[in-house]
Amino acid sequence: MGRRLFKELERSYGFDEVAIVPGQVTINPELTSTKMTIGDLKFEIPIMASAMDGAVSPGFAAQMHEMGGLGVLNAEGLYSRYEDPYSVLEEIISHPWETVTEFLQKVYSEPIREELVGQRVREIKNTGATCAVSFTPQNTKRMSPAAVEAGADMVVVQSTVTTARHMSNSYRGLVFSELIDALKVPVVVGNCVTYEVALELMETGIDGLLVGVGPGAACTTREVVGVGVPQVTATLQCASAREDYFRRTGRYVSVITDGGFRTGGDICKAMVSGADAVMLGTPFAQANEAPGQGFNWGMANPHPELPRGTRISVGTKGSLKEILYGPTSKTDGTQNFVGALKVAMGMCGAYTIRDLHKAEMVIAPSIKTEGKFFQMSR
């Protein structure tokens, strides 16, 4: 029993293992503000739609803007590879499950066309919407200037794991400070899950940070490579880096918890963990307006050598308005996310999201089962 372990492991927590503690003062939900800022861009709600082809099309991005949020378009997805991406979407949706990954690998092997990137940006901008586009680090330097020239308001640089010090023998790693100076628009970078990496990325001058490795419903990164940290702990880590960076520099970097959400309660817990915003994929793929028509698949699903995602059937649960604002007759928390957030803010006495950061949380592994015998036996 006196043996020392090779590594000491820290306990980490996901949404199902914690609960929010009500405040000493409560306020009516209508007194709360859910406004979000990333760089110089302002939004009415702190909710973003993930750059997944089954969730966000140019049209869906425009609808997210109308609802006060932000839809991020995958600038390396079907919309930038095909003149008619919607017929390809139909093929993906109808393809047999047994061979769909091979089919996705084939479909996404079609080259990305810069002229289509610009065309999709203009489609979004022509609706009057804020346009955010997502690139992987290896394509960002080459392709993002064309997107910005076409009118993109924000660039998201996203990979499974992103650091400020990527090493490679084949290409020079992306230098975020140089990218930010060149683009002159807000830059959001991800994904990461630790204090140290978050702080280093913030030091480069980014405007937003995506938090999360592998929690999404369509992602299999945690199964394939074993890498990831549960979202509550990951958000707490990155939010701590934001606070230290803000105290030292006076510059505020928005922390965006990306993935792993199913209910409004999950969103509220992310905010109390320190998130300024959340990014959702599958919940929006369930919207009537989503391009995937009830299907979704991970961004790394089509990887030619090591797929880290799967096509999932998520169904259609309601309109985008119902998912965000209700009204709803569902009692499972999967609709009216904004309403749930405002009620939670009221229960905690939080007028703003920054106020909600101050709310307490407890470790509560029984939070979803205590007293719920009849619900669980249905």
HSE-CB for 207 with a 13 A CA cutoff: 21
* pLDDT for position 370: 86
Q: Give the H/E segment covering residue 240.
A: helix 231-249
Listed in sequence order, the DSSP H helices in 22-136 are 58-66, 85-94, 100-107, 114-125
Distances, alpha carbon 241 to alpha carbons 14, 38, 48, 209, 269, in Å: 19, 17, 22, 11, 18
Encoded tokens for 116 = 């289509």
What is the chain's pLDDT, residue by residue, as a tens digit (378 residues)? 568 889 999 999 999 999 999 999 999 999 999 999 999 999 999 999 999 999 999 999 999 999 999 999 999 999 999 999 999 999 999 999 999 999 999 999 999 999 999 999 999 999 999 999 999 999 999 999 999 999 999 999 999 999 988 876 666 678 999 999 999 999 999 899 999 999 999 999 999 999 999 999 999 899 999 999 999 999 999 999 999 999 999 999 999 999 999 999 999 999 999 999 999 999 999 999 999 999 999 888 888 899 898 999 999 999 999 999 999 999 999 999 999 999 999 999 999 999 999 999 999 998 888 888 778 776
* pLDDT for position 171: 64
> For residue 51, how many other CB atoms are within 10 A of its CB?
25
Q: Do residues 333 and 340 touch, judged by C-beta distance below 8 A?
A: yes
| CA 144 remoteness from chain centre | 20
* pLDDT for position 169: 64
* pLDDT for position 364: 95
Residue with tokens 């000491």: 8
Of 147, 96, 100, 92, which Cα lies nearest the Cα of 119? 147
Q: Where are the beta strands (DSSP E) in the chain?
A: 18-20, 36-38, 41-43, 47-49, 70-74, 132-135, 154-158, 187-192, 208-211, 254-258, 277-280, 295-296, 312-313, 361-363
Is the alpha carbon torsion for 133, 138, 144, 146 positive or negative? negative
* pLDDT for position 84: 98
Could you check whether the bond before residue 301 is cis, i.e. omega within 30 degrees of 0?
Answer: no
Q: Do residues 221 and 301 touch, judged by C-beta distance below 8 A?
A: no
Q: Is 278 helix (H, G, I), strand (E, B) or coil?
A: strand
Encoded tokens for 162 = 């992103």
* pLDDT for position 350: 98
Query: What's the CA gap between 133 and 126, in Å, rounded?
Result: 15
Specify the length of the chain in residues: 378
Of 115, 154, 108, which Cα lies nearest the Cα of 135? 154
- The CATH H-level (homologous superfamily) assignment of domain 15-370 is Aldolase class I (3.20.20.70)
Q: At 9, give phi and psi (nearest 5°).
A: -100, 140
Read off the pLDDT of residues 85-94 as tens digits, 9 standing for 90 and up: 999 999 999 9
Query: What's the CA gap between 56 and 73, in Å, rounded?
Result: 6
Q: Do residues 143 and 117 touch, judged by C-beta distance below 8 A?
A: yes
Query: What's the CA gap between 253 and 38, in Å, rounded?
Result: 8
Q: What distance, in Å, lies between the first and last C-alpha atoms of the chain? A: 45
Distances, alpha carbon 181 to alpha carbons 145, 185, 286, in Å: 12, 9, 38
pTM, 2 dp: 0.96
Encoded tokens for 223 = 């199964």
Pairing of strands 47-49, 277-280: parallel
Listed in sequence order, the DSSP H helices in 50-113 are 58-66, 85-94, 100-107
* pLDDT for position 299: 83
